[in-house]
Structure 1
Amino acid sequence: MNLRTFVYALQFLTRIPAPALSKFDPDDLSRSAVWFPVIGLIVGALVALGVWAGGHVSPWVGALAGLILWVGVTGALHLDGLGDVADGLGASHRDPERFLEVLRDPHVGAFGVIAMTLQIAAKLVLLAEVPSSNGWALAALLLIPAWARWGTQVWSLAVPPLAKGSGERFSWQIRKPVVAAQGLILATVSAWAAPALLTALIVVPLVAIYWKARLGGITGDCLGASVEITETLLLFFFVVAIALAA
C-alpha cells in the first residue's frame, strides 16, 4: 500500500481530481485494488452528503442529489459496464465468444439502455426511502459502495478471466489475506452500524457463482456490472430493514 496505488485507484474509479502519475505500469491496476473499498467509502460519503443536503427540501430531491453525485463521481464507469454486459448477455445466448464480440461493439443496444434505465430508477427510488435526517442511515450509505468494490477483488479471485484486458490484469496481485481482512472489517462495521448490509457476504459469492455458471469467466465490464447490481441489492436490503424496523 502506497500513495501511488491510492492515486491510481482514485483516478481509475472516480472523477475526483488527483495528482498526475508520471507513467503507467500495468501492475498498478492490480496493486491499487487494496484501496478499492476505501474509494468506495469516499463515493458513499458523497452520496450520503447529497441525500442529506437535498433531504432538507424533500426525500426525492435528496435521492436525486445523491444519485447525481453517485453517477457523477464515478463517471458512470460501472453503469457503462452494466449496459455493455446487458447487451452482451441479451445477444450471446450463453456463448462466451459472442458475448465478447458484443462487448467490443462501442454502440449501446436496447438491452443496455433498458438495463441502465432500470438501474438508475431503482437507485433513485431506494435512495428516496433512506431517511435523510437519520445519521446512522446516512452512515450506512458509506458502506454500500465499499462492499461492492471489495467484491471486485473477490470476483477476480474466484472467477477466471474471460479475456485479456483490465479484468484480467486486475487479478494479478490481489492477495487473499488482505481481501479477507478487509471483508472482516466491513462485516464488523456493518454488524454495528447496519446489519442488513451483512447480506453482502451472500450477494458477493452469488455473483461469482453466477458468472462461473453463465460464462465460465469474467471481464472488466462484468466487474462493473457486478458493482452496480451489488450496490442496488444492498441498498434494497437496507431499505427493507428500515421499513421492517419502523
Structure 2
Amino acid sequence: MKSLIIAVQFLTRLPAPHIAVTPNEFASAMRWFPAVGLLLGSILALGAWAGSLIDPWIGALSGLLLWTMVTGGLHLDGLADIVDARGAAHGDRDRMLAVLGDPHIGSFGVIAIGLLLLSKLVLIHALLQQASVINLMTLICIPFIARIGPLIWTTWLPPLHEGLASRFRGAIRPFDIFAWSSVALLASLRFPVLLAGAVFIPLWGCWIKRQIGGISGDGHGAGIELIETALLMTLIVGSKLS
C-alpha cells in the first residue's frame, strides 16, 4: 500500500498522505505505475462523459483539462525535452545530451506540447461523438496500458545517465511485468484495440535506444504521452472500421 501511495504522489497531483520515503521504496513504487494509470483513466473518462452531457467539445475539453491537471503536465515536460534535444542535435550527440539536460523548454518542445494536446482534444471529441460505452471503458484503460511501458523500458534499455530513471533499474521484477501484462491481455479480450500497446511500447523502446542511446525520465514521460495518443487514434480508427 505504501508503494502505491508513493506512486500516486509521484505521478499525480492528487492529495495523498505525507509519508517518509527511502530511495529503495521510491524505486519500488514504479511497480504501481499501471495502477495509477487506471486511476487517471477513470478520472479522464468521468470528466469527459460528464462534459459530453452538455456538448462533445465540452466533454473533450473537460477530459483533457482533468488529464493534464491531475498529472501536473509531468510527462509533457519529458516530451518537450526529447523533441528539443532531437531538434537541436543536428547529428551532434554531445549537443543533444546537453539540450536534453537543459531544464528550459525551447520552441520545438512548445510546438510538440501544443500539437499533442490538440491531438488528444480532437481524438477525445471524436470518441465522444460516437457515444459508445465501450469506447469510454477503453478510455479508462489507455493510461493504464501506457504506464506498463516504463516497467518494460527500465528493464530492457540502459539508463541514459545517473538520474531519476536510473533509480528504477533493478526495482522491477519479471513478475511485475508479467502480472500487469496479464491484466492488459485480459482487458484486451474485451477491448481488442488495447493490443496495439504491444506494438507501440516496443517501438518507442527501439526508437529511444537508437536515437537517444538509453532511457531517462524524459524518455519515459515522452513515451507515455505518445502511446496514449497513439492508442486514442487506434481506438477511433478501429471504431470506424468495425
User: SS of the residue aligned with 1:129?
Assistant: helix
Once the two structures are superposed, the pairs formed by residues 165-204 of structure 1 within 5 Å of their partners are 165-192=163-190, 194-204=191-201
Please say if 1:154 is aligned against 2:113: no
Native 8 Å contact 1:67 1:123 kept in 2 = yes
Question: Percent identity, aligned pairs only?
Answer: 42
TM-score (norm 2): 0.96
State the match for 1:86 in structure 2: 83
Once the two structures are superposed, the pairs formed by residues 91-106 of structure 1 within 5 Å of their partners are 91-106=88-103
State the match for 1:143 in structure 2: 141
Shift of residue 95, structure 1, vs aligned partner? 4.1
Structure 2 unaligned blocks of 5 or more:
none
Per-residue deviation, residues 127-169 of structure 1 (Å, max 9, x unmatched)? 0011374222111111100011111111111110010111111
Native 8 Å contact 1:5 1:32 kept in 2 = yes
State the match for 1:235 in structure 2: 232
How far, CA to CA, are the matches of 1:95 and 1:9 in structure 2?
36
How far, CA to CA, are the matches of 2:147 and 2:92 in structure 1?
27
Shift of residue 99, structure 1, vs aligned partner? 2.4
Once the two structures are superposed, the pairs formed by residues 214-233 of structure 1 within 5 Å of their partners are 214-233=211-230
How far, CA to CA, are the matches of 2:32 and 2:160 in structure 1?
24
How far, CA to CA, are the matches of 2:177 and 2:26 in structure 1?
15
Task: Tell me: CA distance 1:205–1:71, structure 2 relative to 1, closer, same or farther (3 Å).
Answer: same
How far, CA to CA, are the matches of 1:59 and 1:112 in structure 2?
29
How far, CA to CA, are the matches of 2:210 and 2:70 in structure 1?
32
Which stretch shifts more, 42-51 or 102-111?
A: 102-111
Native 8 Å contact 1:94 1:214 kept in 2 = no
How far, CA to CA, are the matches of 2:169 and 2:90 in structure 1?
27
Which stretch shifts more, 182-191 or 153-162?
A: 182-191
Please say if 1:33 is aligned against 2:30: yes
TM-score (norm 1): 0.94
Native 8 Å contact 1:94 1:215 kept in 2 = no
State the match for 2:55 in structure 1: 58
Per-residue deviation, residues 16-66 of structure 1 (Å, max 9, x unmatched)? 0000012x3122232011111110000000110111001111111100000
